[in-house]
Amino acid sequence: MCKECNGPLSDPVLITAKSRILTTTGVVEGISTYRKKCLNCSLMYRYQEWEDGLHNYDDHVILSLHLCLTIRNALQTHTAKGVFNMPVSETQRPSQDYDGHVDLKKFWDAVAVEMLSRGFIPYGKKNPFVVPLSYNNWAPWIGPQTRQSDLILNTEFEKIPTTTMSDDSEYLEVTEERLSDEIINLKVEEFGVPQVAGL
C-alpha cells in the first residue's frame, strides 16, 4: 500500500544485480536492488531499512550503518586517514645530523609530478618520478596561507621505536585490525542510531 494515497504498489522491478554493500571490513558484491511504484500516484519506493543496519545510498551502493557512523565520526573529529603497506623496517632512517626540517613545496610538487606521470607511463613500466618514502623527505600538507615558509618541521622521525621497550609494550601492540574488530563488535544502539536517523 502506498503511504501517500493508499493505492496498490507494482510488482518489484529490478534496478540492478550489481549493487555493492560497503562495510568497515570489506565489500559484498552482486547484490540485487529493486523498486516498487504506486499504481495511482506514481510514487517510487526503494529499499531503505535502517533496522537491517543498512543505508541505501543510491541503489548501487549500500552502506552499513557501522561504516556510516565511522565516516560521520571521522568527519566530525577531522580525522585524517592514510594507509600504505610498507614495513617500518624498510623505511630509511634519517642521518644523525637531520634536524627535522623539510621543504614542503618541493615535496608536494614532487608528489604532484608522480601522480600526473601515472597517466603517461605505460602499465608495467617503472615510474621514474616515484617519491621515495623516508622520514627526512615526507612533509605534511600545510596551506600556503597558514605557514610561515616552505621550510617546515617534520617530527615523524622522532616516533621511530627504540630497541628497548618499556613495560607498556603489551599496550603498544594494538593493531588497526583489532581496533576495527572492536568497533564492529559494538552494538548499533551504543552509537545512538535513533538520533542519527532523526527518530
| Domain match, 105 and 49 both | no
User: Mean pLDDT, the chain, as a whole number?
Assistant: 80
How many folded domains does the chain comprise?
2
Residues 6+ apart with CB under 8 A from 24: 64, 66, 67, 70, 180, 183, 184
12-21, 31-40, 84-93, 174-183: range with lowest mean pLDDT? 84-93
Write down the pLDDT at residue 115.
87
Q: Residue 85 falls within a domain, yes or no? A: no
Helix, strand or coil for residue 54?
strand
Q: pLDDT per residue over 15-47, tens digit each? A: 999 999 999 889 999 999 999 999 999 898 888
pLDDT range class, residue 49, cuts 50, 70, 90: confident
* pTM (2 d.p.): 0.42
For 142-176, b/e burial (b = at least 16 CB within 10 A) is eeeeeeeeeebebeeeeeeeeeeeeeeeeeeeeee
Residue 72 has pLDDT above 80, yes or no: yes
Q: Residue 84 falls within a domain, yes or no? A: no
User: At which residue does the C-alpha cell 621543504 appear?
Assistant: 103
Q: Residue 72 falls within a domain, yes or no? A: yes
29-43, 92-106, 107-121, 150-164: range with lowest mean pLDDT? 150-164
| Domain match, 102 and 153 both | yes
Residue 14 has pLDDT above 90, yes or no: yes
Residue 96 cell numbers, joined = 644523525
Residue 86 has pLDDT above 80, yes or no: no
| Domain match, 73 and 99 both | no
Write down the pLDDT at residue 160.
67
Residue 52 has pLDDT above 60, yes or no: yes
| Domain match, 66 and 103 both | no
137-141 contacts, C-beta under 8 A, 24 or more apart: 137/102, 137/107, 138/102, 138/107, 139/102, 139/103, 139/104, 139/107, 139/108, 140/104, 141/104, 141/108
Q: What gap in Å lies between CA 54 and CA 68, rounded to an integer?
A: 9
Q: What gap in Å lies between CA 184 and CA 179, rounded to an integer?
A: 9
Write down the pLDDT at residue 10.
93
103: closest CA among 140, 128, 146? 140
Write down the pLDDT at residue 40.
92
Residue 127 cell numbers, joined = 615510474
Please report, as a single letter, which amino acid is at residue 34: Y
Q: Which domain holds residue 123?
A: 94-159
Q: Residue 5 falls within a domain, yes or no? A: no
Q: pLDDT per residue over 96-110, tens digit each? A: 888 888 888 999 999
